[in-house]
Structure 1
Amino acid sequence: MEISPRETEVLDLVGAHLSNAEIAARLCISVRTVESHVSSLLRKLEVPDRRALAQRAPEPTGAGPSRPAPVLPAPLTSFIGRVSERAELTEKIKAHRQVTALGPGGVGKTRLALAVATEAAGEYDDGVWFVDLVPVTDPDMIATAVAGALGLGEQPGRDMTASVVAALADRHALLVLDNCEHVVDGVALFLERLLATCPRLTVLATSRARLMVPFERVYPVPPLSLAADGEPDAIALFMERAAAVGWPLDPPLRDQIASICERLDGMALAIELAAARYPTLGLDGITAALSHPLRMLTGGSRADERHSSVRAALDWSHALLEPADRALLRRVSVFVSPFTAAAAAQVTGAEEGLVADVLARLAEQSLLVVTASPGGTEYRALETIRQYGMERLAEAGELVDARSRHLRWCLAKAAALAVARPDWRARFDLVADDLRAALVWAADRPELRTDAYELARHLAELTFTRNLVGESQRHYEQAAELAIDPAATASMLRQAAAVAGCRAVGDDMYRLRLAAADAARRSGDTAGAAADLASAATSAFRFSPTFLRLPPGEEALALIIEAREPAGDDPAARAAVALAEAAVLADTFGAVQGPPGNAVPETMAYAERAVELARRTGDPLAESAALDALASAQSWAGDTFAAAATARSRITLLSSLPISPTGTQELIDALGMVTEAELGAGDLPGARRWARRLADHPALAEVGHRAPLMVEALAGNVGEVLAGSIRLLDAWRGAGSPARSYLGPAVAGVAMIHGLRGDHDAQREWQQILNQLGTPPEYFHGYGAVFDAMLLLHRGQAPEALQRMGPEPGQVWKWVTWIWHHWYVALRAEAAVLAGSPDARDRVADARAIVAGNPVSAAMVERAEALLDGDHETLLATADAFDAAGCRYQSVRTMVLAGGEHAERGAAALADLGLAPMMTVRFPTRSMP
């Protein structure tokens, strides 16, 4: 009997193992019509059943039978690791017909299920199908979502569940149901019917909650591994995702990445979000942003889209709890960090034994995560569950009471942490997020203002000691706003100003000191107000490079005039005013009645008076600040070695003081000054030692410091400069590339090193950065002239170097004194000799007198004179002097200048240092053998 074209189409699809419903959907005809065609084909082909009919279907052209391709979404990113998890889950779905991959949001359930389904596709004759249930909000629509994935249309007289069951009845297939948590009841009912009528079907579900059906087998999806023989999955994921956004990471950063992944609990989504932020935050920025351990989990759009779905699943879980369990779940939701049963009992007011029993039951329901710690068993609610508990707390009318109990608990914890103990930092880290959360809530409630002030003050102190200086400044300012007593407000603002000083944010120092003066006036403390006004004026000059908008001199002078009368006879206020006069009057206006300018005698007189008055106060911090003014005055007077001695005395004065914002600001400034002072005096080993202590100071984690780069650049230590420059550049860009002129010497030093290496592109890049920072007089006549001259002399451009340093030191004395004075005059003398200047001998003689006692600059002048006299023996002796002084570059430069076999060894040594060949010039007076 003849088979019609339509029957041929039906026969082909029967041969492809499609059900009647699928054939109907494919051919756009009704299921009844398909059934009629199948019956007709059975008669015409004289076969007994559908299986035999399928065997009569023609083979596809040019190939044997093939398995259908898995209907799975294509992942947009690579799948990382999970080798053991993939193997375990694969074995689960081989052994059981329904497996639920269970875990919290963001742990990586979907990606693991997709990876397993893709690998297992070859084991299922009729394919693998994937259904995302996120868009499904009605449990009755689950079958519709599955039908859509299968390509089924609605069939007359048959509901969608029946259509799906019919389509899969004889199929050997794997069905992946993703994100079941919000329709878990509907999924359970649907699967019960589906699995009962489809004996060859396997279902892999992903969910945050169990389906709670007898046939379910659960596979808890663990976080990504943080420890492994090879590369842990968590670290590998972070590095791969960072590379994917164009910022590959070097293996040496592995420990820092591991720390970030550990704080993120190995949660895949959080790690991906953190890695995506690496280009803008860097690893240090990411670490600092993780004060809230789980916030990355709620930082992406995916978390927002699933928020209501999580609530639906939690509603279902919540309904299964006993009333006492529900009450405890909502009350412990005030904790944002892991907590113990004892802490929960204190906050909830319940008996500890009862609380422990309920917490255990909540953990069994996957509503709390349990971890063991040295302090005992700890519990933690994932952020979505905690937010759900907070909503329930508000609905029950218990929010204020629970929050108030939590606030009192936090105040007690903060007060206990203020008593120093060896493990206080670890204990602070455990409760820090709770302290912050309690403060945010209490700060908005007028009736709790006193408690909020106390907590803000404690947090400011704790975060400062914990080296979270930016946060500390915010809390000090917050405490100032919350304080009821103006005297307390003034005290908090002074501390905030000191923290701003540690952060090198001069504008904030100035603003906060002026605000402290206003608060002191309101409290009746006129002497305190005078000291604050004077300190504001001092900061504008003492820390001027840290300002973006530097107050004009007239404004600072007005502050001093305003402070004099209320200072009266108060020792601290008088010392503060004297220090302001030393900083402002001598620097900008000369003597009060004298001409403007930097008059050295007046500068010294003001500084010595400031030191005398500061010592009368008995305050080491006031004395250190006054000694800073004295060291500057000594430098301006050209007494480099006295300035270095004064700078060292500041360190001795400050070393035994307890940690405080003002003390830390003073110590950081003193370390910076002593580094630069030793550099100016030619003590490179001493400068390096102080620079390393400064760089290692924990309070500088946010801002870094320029001093180490300056030391290594002048010494010519290429490796240290290149490594430090990367950190400097990352920190500067991470801070928004501010125009901080105090970074100028370090950046100029890096640019010079790249020039010495012959890397002109890198040199131009750093020169552009230098231009962004600004080019003040210090650049033109101080550090810029020194670094430029060193590079020009290396390139054999002695006349250009001499021109770059054309001004006599006395003409630009302010900018070439301090650390640059000896370097300037020594390099200028050498440039004059190498350029064949007729006054070279006079310049050498003048330089010798100025730099006497400076091992590096004196050796440079000695070398210049040896070149001038053709004294080969003395010339070579300077190489040893440079080595002894820790200045390897100048030693190698001496060898090249010596010529002959010495030059060959010098050229090889330059290459070992990573520097380009040095060019030399012939000059008329040279008569070396």
Structure 2
Amino acid sequence: MTATGEVSAREAEVLALVGEHLSNAEIGARLFISVRTVESHVSSLLRKLALPDRRALAQRASELGRADRSHPAPALPTPLTSFVGRARERAELAEIVKTHRQVTAVGPGGVGKTRLALTLAAEAADEYADGVWFVDLVPVTDPGATVVAAAVAAALGLGEQPGTAIDESVVAALADRHALLVLDNCEQVRDGVAPFVERLLAACPRVTVLATSRARLMVPFERVYPVPPLSLAGDGESDAVALFLERAAAVGRPPDPALRDHVAAVCARLDGVALAIELAAARWSTLGLDGLTAGLSDQLRMLAGGSRADDRHRSVRAALDWSHALLEPADRALLRRVSVFVAPFTVAAAAEVAGSDVGMVADGLARLAEQSLLVVTASLGGTEYRALETIRQYGTERLTEAGELDDARARHLRWCLAEAAGLAVVGADWRARFDAVADDLRSALAWAADRPGQRTDAYRLARRLAELTFTRNLVGESQLRFAQAAALADDPADTASMLREAAAVAGCRMRGDDMYRFQRAAADAARRAGDTAGAAVDLATAATNAYRFWSKFARLTPEAEAVALIAEARELAGDDPAAAAALALAEAGVLTDAFGAAQGPAENAVPETVARAERAVELAHRTGDPLAESAALDALTGARSWAGDAFAAAATARRRITLLSAAPDTPAGTHELIDALGMATEAGLGAGDLPGARRWGRQLADHPLLAEVGHRATSWLLVAGAFAGNVDEVLTGSARFLEAWQRAGSPARSVLGPAVAGVAMIHGLRDDHDTRREWDAVLRRLGTPPEHVYGYGAVFDAMLMLHQGRAGEAWERLAPEPADVWKWVTWIWLHWYVALRAEASVLAGNPDAADRLAEARAVVAGNPVAAAIVERAAALFDDDRRRLLATAAAFDASGCRYQAARTLVLAGGDHAVRGSAALAGLGLAPMAPR
């Protein structure tokens, strides 16, 4: 029945019964009110509706009944704001309400239970002939069933009848009604609601009860529907973000769409709780997203001041105060003590941190979960509990008020230490086990690190967390934790040890400056500990790394500085074998790499460099340390490359891989292995071992620790792919390279030049001029060092020019004598340079082509690809097709499909048709005619 004008709900009921021509006594009996009250309502109706008598009133009631009888108006409060999202929850809850007569929507305060229930009730109003009725139980403080029944009676407009209990009146009024009764906020009067609802449903077969509560009612026929937080992400729109944007617009202007990800992050920090999101959105216009994000560390302070009519929802703190007040003292104590957990926790963990019996804690956690103060997750692996972030912060405040914070934190720290110590890095699930406790380890460390009394435990936890995060491939955090452990260590020897580990992790991250800084700091700590030999090793290693890993440095170490470090190390070394080996390596390494800055190879310098490196290898081998020996072998690899012996360099690089197969799985061991894989890849390219280079390059590119520097990890694999003509591999790898390079800030590192030049060449071979120009732009961003002008740049440019039939230009590009540009072509590019130079000379018709061929044969002998290029050029020079075609098989055997196809095209005739088809199959453009 819809009331008109200012007719009240009770008056509307009286009007309807007048329309049925009932007497005042009959109306009073039907509505459980006195006859005098009925007379008062009838008089009021005559006045409000301006009708002369009761007959006219009955006629008006009949008219209104005919017009509105099929659409009873829901007796629901009118929301002040729009309802956002919740499509899935609305559909689920509506379906449950259709099939169950008593449904309880449960969830923590502020999650949106009431709004969801009201929305559902409004949408379902047409399905209940006698309407929907809303009862707010917040004002009810007495948990007795009678008081609850009185609140329901008031909502229904029932008066109290002498001699009749109010609950009986309610049951009688609803006995034959088809209605939905919404009981909101039942948690504080559960003891009264449960028996009332049980009796009501037993006596009123067509009544359905939808209750909202922070805890289930615990009645036999109850169907519980947990109301989840607002959706944060998924296939559809995020309800949490939509709510934030709408409420933010209501107080000003909504955030720019470009900030949607930032809004989503804020909503995630708020666990998708509707109340928290609304309160945060209300402060967006004054704080902005940056201010909101900063304020989330104290959500209870920031999320206040909402425009809610209900005081409980004017702030998150008020909502939590309401729930907290309903708890027994023991449960309050448990809630505040488990608030130290950041991640989900078990009963056993909670018992240890709470300092209580496991059985008692289990019961307490169950009660807190029933009150929606903890989220419970049951699985085959066990049951876990979690507190939402606002509840955690609330519990921490309560811990402080109770004077229990330090004790609870200390117990949590001890638990974290035990968990970290027991995390064996074995089994496929170890990462999941680490992730499950990692946030708690970090939280405990953050607390302990600032307390002198916890310094020893903080050091132990920082060290273990550094080890675990390294193995978990969180290398940035690992470096931070090792440095933190060094700062917390009481013993300078421990400080030195942690700084060495931090240096190794920095090396894995390609952060040379950090590596150098940590290594020098380790020397200082070792000296304070009285370990002069250890300090000597650190100083010598810092000097070595400054040259050995120069491409990882933003600031190149001056030679004089490195020499000074070596001199200082020599004074401290004494007769310690490890120090002697480190010194020998520093002297060999600095000399070898500094040698590249000279104008040309002095005749005595190369043999001396090789001899120094061999001596470093011998001394390192005596120490029994595979990492020291590997580092020395690296120096020997470089020395042999300067000597022009590509095959000896490649063999030495492979020897490092074998040696490191049994090396410890530590930051230092991993750093050494990563470098060894890179060197083996480069050495394989220089010796023409393309399958080997691709194998080592693939291991390097796939190494999980290089995720931060994917562009560095994939660079040499791209070079190998470019030489082999593996177009698909280059296109896929180059996309990964470019994305990682841009993500890293597009660093202008010249060491990336060969990869970019190789990719640009492949696009040139494909006649994809637009993409080639894009990669040429990247190449210009990296600079044009001499290695580009005379080394890899000349090699890749010449390969493209020869493909395009521009042999004369290719010859000009390779015109400098190898001996004049030796320092830029020695190592990887020498054999490719002289072989392509010989072919360009032949195809360009140079008069001294025969001399170029002879010189090239002597240099590339033993290199399967470069030797085949020279042999092909010789066959072209001699016009010997049989020898020419034989090189195609040599290229195929060497994994160089592009050169094999090129050979067939150069052979002409039917062979050229097959060769052109092979080039097309590779995705390359046709070759220009000879």
TM-score computed with the length of structure 1 as normaliser: 0.75
**Among 753, 762, 778, the residue aligned to 1:769:** 778
Question: Conserved in 1, the CA contact under 8 Å of 2:592 and 2:639?
Answer: no
Equivalences, count:
815
1:502 deviates by 1.0
Deviation at 1:441, TM superposition (A): 0.5
Rate the CA distance shift 1:880–1:209 in 2: closer, same or farther, 3 A: farther
Distance in structure 2 (CA, Å) of the matches to 1:112 and 1:736: 46
Report matched runs for 1:2-151 at 5 Å: 39-40=49-50, 48=58, 82=88, 85-92=89-96, 94=98, 101-103=105-107
Cα gap change, 1:914/1:341 in structure 2, threshold over 3 Å: closer, same or farther? same
1:673 aligns with 2:679: yes
Q: How many Å separate the matches in 2 of 1:398 and 1:302?
A: 20
User: Which residue of structure 1 lines up, in the alignment, with residue 453 of structure 2?
Assistant: 447
Counterpart for residue 430 of structure 1:
436
In structure 2, what is the Cα distance between the partners aligned to 1:530 and 1:615? 18
Q: CA deviation at 1:421?
A: 7.0
The whole-number CA distance in structure 1 between the counterparts of 2:240 and 2:895 is 42
Change in 2 beyond 3 A, CA 1:344/1:803 = same
Q: How far did residue 875 of structure 1 move?
A: 2.3
Letter in structure 2 aligned against 1:569: D
Tell me, what secondary structure is at the counterpart of 2:828? helix
Larger mean Cα displacement after TM superposition, 905-914 or 416-425? 416-425
Question: How far has the Cα of 1:717 moved from its partner?
Answer: 1.6
2:814 pairs, out of 798, 805, 809, with 805
The 2-side partners of 1:518 and 1:823 are apart by 46
Structure 1 residue aligned with 2:386: 380
Quote the Cα distance in structure 1 between the aligned partners of 2:215 and 2:604: 75
Which of these residues, 685, 705, 718, is aligned with residue 709 of structure 1? 718
Question: Kindly, what percent of the aligned residue pairs are identical?
Answer: 69
Change (3 A) 1:921 1:455: same
SS of the equivalent of 1:219 reads strand
Q: Answer whether contact 1:546 1:741 (CA < 8 A) is retained.
A: no
| TM-superposed deviation, 1:115 | 9.8
Post-superposition offset of 1:451? 1.2
* 2: CA distance, partners of 1:647 / 1:427: 37
1:74 and 1:361, CA in 2 relative to 1: closer, same or farther beyond 3 A?
closer
1:510-559 Cα offsets, whole Å, 9 max, x none, are: 11111111212222222222221221111111111111122222222222
* Map of 1:406 onto structure 2: 412
Write the distance in 1 (CA, Å) between the matches of 2:619 and 2:866: 36
Change in Cα spacing, 1:238 to 1:320, as seen in structure 2 (3 Å) is: closer
Contact 2:270 2:389 in 1 (8 A): no
The 2-side partners of 1:454 and 1:367 are apart by: 33
Question: Bigger radius of gyration, 1 or 2?
Answer: 2
Report Cα offsets for 1:273-323 as digits up to 9, x if no partner.
Answer: 9xxxxxxxxxxxxxxxxxxxxx99979999964797433232222222221
Is the CA contact 1:607–1:630 (under 8 Å) kept in the aligned structure 2? yes
Equivalent residue number for residue 919 of structure 1: 927
- Contact kept, 8 Å, 2:757 with 2:776, in 1: the verdict is yes
Aligned residue number for residue 251 of structure 2: none
Q: Which moved more, 1:378-387 or 1:298-307?
A: 298-307
Q: Give the corresponding residue for 2:849.
A: 840
Distance 1:354 1:458 in 2: 32
Give the match for residue 354 of structure 1: 360
1:844–1:480 Cα change, 3 Å: same
**In structure 2, how many angstroms separate the alpha carbons of the residues matched to 1:127 and 1:856?**
88
Structure 2 distance, partners of 1:761, 1:45, is: 91
Which residue number corresponds to residue 764 of structure 2? 755
Match status 1:369 vs 2:363? no
Structure 2 match to 1:821 = 830
1:417 aligned counterpart, secondary structure: coil
Find 2:490's aligned residue among 484, 488, 493: 484
The CA deviation string for residues 311-358 of structure 1, in whole angstroms up to 9 with x for no partner, is 323222222222112112211222222222222222222222222222
Matched position secondary structure for 2:327:
coil
Q: CA 1:437–1:79 in structure 2 vs 1: closer, same or farther (change >3 Å)?
A: same
Deviations 1:696-716 (A, max 9, x none): 323223323033222222222
Q: 1:17 to 1:886 in 2, by over 3 A?
A: farther
**Residues 175, 201 of structure 1: 8 Å contact kept:** yes
C-alpha RMSD over aligned residues:
5.3
CA drift at 1:473 = 0.7
User: For 1:519, which of 495, 515, 525 is the aligned residue?
Assistant: 525
Q: Write out per-residue CA displacement over residues 56-111 of structure 1, whole angstroms, 9 at most, x where no aligned residue.
A: 99xxxxxxx9x99x9998899x989x4xx554322245568997654469999899
2:563 matched residue in structure 1: 557
Amino acid paired to 1:676: E
Structure 1, residues 624-670: CA drift from partner, whole Å, max 9, x if none? 00100100111111111111110111111110122111111111111
Paired position in structure 2 for 1:499? 505
1:509 counterpart residue number: 515
Show structure 2 runs of 5+ residues with no match: 10-43, 140-152, 159-177, 243-255, 278-292, 305-312
The 1:465–1:374 alpha-carbon spacing in structure 2 relative to 1, beyond 3 Å, is: farther
Q: Is the CA contact 1:614–1:622 (under 8 Å) kept in the aligned structure 2?
A: yes
Is residue 799 of structure 2 the alignment partner of residue 790 of structure 1?
yes
Q: How far off is 1:470 after superposition?
A: 1.3
SS at match of 2:376: strand
The residue aligned with 1:699 is 705
Q: Is the contact between residue 109 and residue 320 of structure 2 (CA under 8 Å) also seen in structure 1?
A: no
Deviation at 1:212, TM superposition (A): 11
SS in 2 for 1:703: helix
Check whether the contact 2:508–2:705 (CA below 8 A) recurs between aligned residues: yes
Distance 1:110 1:907 in 2: 73
SS of corresponding position for 1:337? coil
Cα 1:517/1:162, change in 2 over 3 Å: same
- Matches of 1:359 and 1:438 in 2, distance apart? 22
Q: Would the alpha carbon gap of residues 324 and 46 (structure 1) be closer, same or farther in structure 2, given more than 3 Å must change?
A: closer
> Following the alignment from structure 2 to structure 1, what is the Cα–Cα distance between the partners of residues 819 and 210?
84
CA distance in 2, matches of 1:834, 1:119: 84
Look up the SS of the partner of 2:816 in the other structure: coil
Q: Contact 1:548/1:739 (CA < 8 Å) preserved in 2?
A: no
Q: Is the contact made by 2:110 and 2:316 (CA closer than 8 Å) also made in structure 1?
A: no
Q: Alignment partner of 2:385: what SS?
A: strand
Residue 734 (1) aligns with residue 734 (2): no
The one-letter code of the counterpart of 1:839 is D
Q: 1:143-202 CA distances to partner (integer Å, 9 max, x unpaired)?
A: xxxxxxxxxxxxxxxxxx999999xxxxx9999999x899999xx9xxx9xx99xxx999
Range 516-525 or range 99-108, more displaced? 99-108
Is 1:638 matched with 2:648?
no
CA contact (8 A) 1:679 1:711 kept: yes
Task: Tell which deviates more after alignment, 319-328 or 115-124.
Answer: 115-124
Partner of 2:344: helix, strand, or coil?
A: coil
Structure 1 match to 2:887: 878
Deviation, structure 1 residue 620:
1.1
- CA distance in 2 between partners of 1:298 and 1:442 (Å): 22
The answer to whether the 8 A contact 1:590-1:596 is kept is no
How big is the shift at 1:771? 3.0
Is the 1:481–1:489 contact (alpha carbons within 8 Å) kept by the matching residues of 2? yes
Where does residue 41 of structure 2 map in the other structure?
none
Instruction: Determine the C-alpha separation between the residues in 2 that align with 1:118 and 1:181.
Output: 20
Unaligned runs of 5+ in 1: 1-13, 23-33, 58-64, 141-160, 167-171, 227-232, 249-259, 274-294, 923-929
Are 1:514 and 1:532, in contact at CA under 8 Å, matched by a contact in 2? Answer: yes
Q: Specify which of 331, 334, 351 is matched with residue 345 of structure 1.
A: 351
- Offset, 1:461: 1.4
Residue 666 of structure 2: aligned partner: 660
Distance 1:657 1:623, change over 3 A: same
Seen in structure 2, the aligned counterparts of structure 1 residues 45 and 753 have a Cα distance that, compared at 3 Å, is: farther
- The aligned amino acid for 1:460 is A
SS in 1 for 2:709: coil
How far did residue 440 of structure 1 move?
0.7
Report the CA distance between 1:507 and its aligned residue: 1.0
Amino acid at match of 1:614: A
| One-letter code aligned to 1:775 | T
CA contact (8 A) 2:86 2:239 kept: no
TM-score between both structures, scaled by the size of structure 2: 0.75
